[in-house]
Structure 1
């Protein structure tokens, strides 16, 4: 019969093995994963607008344009592809001349950040269709200038736009802008692709401006007893041989936005 001492020693001899088995069993059990994975979803649809005009020199800022004659411009078109704004072009008041003359357009007045300033004439287009299919902007002159009262034609007068350039805060590739063009005053001339966005281009809001701040100038004009703010990138050339009456002359321009991208 074993003594108490032998029993105790036997128990001490086997206890490390038993403890190691217990520890191994505990370590082999998998640790529960406390994390979970969930989804996150967002959808976008076209914006039916209209979109506010922006400052053509700082397209990240909204602007409130006025026409050079002090009237309020028409609201832009609605829809996910919209023509938001187009400047009224005015060449001011000028003395009748028998020599060939070139007249600068008045600069575009806007109100932005509570401040009034003059900027280049511009056109604004917004594409929020979400299709990246491209678009085309064209313009035509609807007949020659005619005097308001007597309906006399300003024969040979021609409007020329220059320094056409794009501006936007959009990360989309820029559309292509026509730099310089002249309008056909007979009412049938159309400048195709004045600005065009090929497929994958022109998403977001884009300004087609004629020049930058360096093209906005203050000049003294003898007809007006004050400085006049003009832009030297939109001009009207009038032959000296053209008969002129002491009246206001008017015509109109039609800017057309098409959802078909321009082809090379």
Structure 2
């Protein structure tokens, strides 16, 4: 450390970087300069200014009226989402909901009958104006520069204000220790504790490695498309230009970044 004593703040920053798998340079480089840790970004990382997803339910239903659940399985397996077996205490990052529940403000008595009761893929909308972020007293949930609404589990005190503020029901609370309910732990992603809120993170840890979200990669039908809204040539922008799109509860002003083709 070049003759200097490492203080607690510096130690915690370096320890945190290593835990996240970001400490990829020699220790002598980490402590170089002003003694603040230098973290190198993976050169293969996917970088975007405003990440978004398009869910093409027509393609999803091509696999049968109920669709498949490969995206749900992949997401929950990747992120150590427990299977509590109790609807009142379930933890979910991506799940299905009926049209009436997913789009309660966009239905009428003359709507296409086939839409009623069909399962729609739903997840955190990573809103441009996220109400969950505004109400969190510890800043445990925050919006990144690329638009991803993410969580710091260590800061979460379990107040559940974010759950009350989220109009999409996209957050789950661990009423008990979730670890015994994980069939096979993925060592690449942290498990959570009792009393912590969690939700979809748009696979931020995979983007950092140059990988698409687990749900997108698992979808064999091309129903899930992920990309940068600020890039006119991205796949999501091309789809938005050529299809009629709906969003969940757009009248609330949260500006969701999940778009649906129905």
Could you tell me the TM-score, scaled by structure 1's length? Answer: 0.23
More helix by share: 2
Larger Rg, first or second structure (1 or 2): 1
Relative contact order (C-alpha < 8 Å, sep 6+): which is higher? Answer: 2
Could you tell me the TM-score, scaled by structure 2's length? Answer: 0.23
